[in-house]
Structure 1
Amino acid sequence: MARDYYDILGLSKSASDSEIKSSYRKLAMKYHPDRNPDDKKAEDKFREITESYEILKDPQKKAAYDQYGHAAFSQGSGAGAGGGFSGFSGGGFSDIFEDMFGMGGDQGRRSASTGSDLRYDLSVSLEQAFSGDQVEISLTVPAKCESCNGSGANKGSQPKQCS
């Protein structure tokens, strides 16, 4: 059985966002693989801590977890918005460092043409959620400029990061 994310971070269920972040930073530094080379238990603990933080730092995922527990993120549960969540955002260590220290490990890595996340609130009945009903939605998204492909740079030049 999966451990409680709050317990993993040593927190109560009423912990504030700043307490969650502070506990994550402290534990991530303690169990980071670079500080514990060749220690499989520390590596596993680091993954567990990071998975917990990935859920508890996001208001929607946290609300789903608080209501449904781990079932909110298991395949086919239909319980939460994050069905099929695997535990990591897939961004690698630079994303972890960005979360910990508020800066990117490789700031040039992100493309200027990458758009922002879209958010859509959808109300479903308990029956729909329980049965795993699929609901079709339509979104209006801004189109990319054809001449710069959304980068904002002149043709033949590279986008520059603002300082």
Structure 2
Amino acid sequence: MKDYYALLGVSPDATPAVIKASYRKKAFQYHPDRNPDPDAAHKFREVQEAYEALSDGDRRKAYDDSRRRSLIDDPLLSAKQIWENIIEKAKIS
């Protein structure tokens, strides 16, 4: 499961306004017309996917529920994915 909060660089308790502001910043950063990196289009799509899930109240609730379940059902895999997202985020910064 992708960590949409990490992709947007926000905390799980972020407000819709913070999520939107972070999305705009990341979308601007990774937009293929502005970023020559070959991986920019992929990152741009991931940011869009994260925003679509977190900007809609019902989808965000379903995502959060699923995220909690995965932490309970398979904590080692979830911890590994969270750690990889943190490392990836550190590389980007």
TM-score normalised by L of structure 2: 0.68
- CA drift at 1:50: 0.4
Q: Deviations over 1:18-38 (max 9, x none)?
A: 00000000000010011024x
* C-alpha distance in 1 between matches for 2:31 and 2:42: 10
Aligned to 2:22: 23
Match of 1:66 among 55, 58, 64: 64
RMSD: 1.4
User: Unpaired segments of 5 or more residues in structure 2?
Assistant: 70-93
Match of 2:55 among 49, 54, 57: 57
Higher relative contact order (CA 8 A, sep 6+): 2
- CA drift at 1:47: 0.6
Whether 1:13 aligns to 2:18 is no
Q: Which amino acid aligns with 1:21?
A: K
| 1:40 alignment partner, SS class | coil
Aligned to 1:3: 2
Equivalence map 1:113-124=2 (5 Å): none
* C-alpha distance in 1 between matches for 2:2 and 2:9: 12
- CA drift at 1:40: 2.4
- CA drift at 1:3: 2.6
User: Unpaired segments of 5 or more residues in structure 1?
Assistant: 72-163
Equivalence map 1:21-100=2 (5 Å): 21-37=20-36, 39-69=37-67
Rg (Cα) greater in structure: 1
Q: Which amino acid aligns with 2:47?
A: I
Between Structure 1 and Structure 2, how many residues are aligned?
68
Equivalence map 1:120-131=2 (5 Å): none
* C-alpha distance in 2 between matches for 1:66 and 1:3: 12
| 1:65 alignment partner, SS class | helix
- CA drift at 1:68: 1.0
TM-score normalised by L of structure 1: 0.40
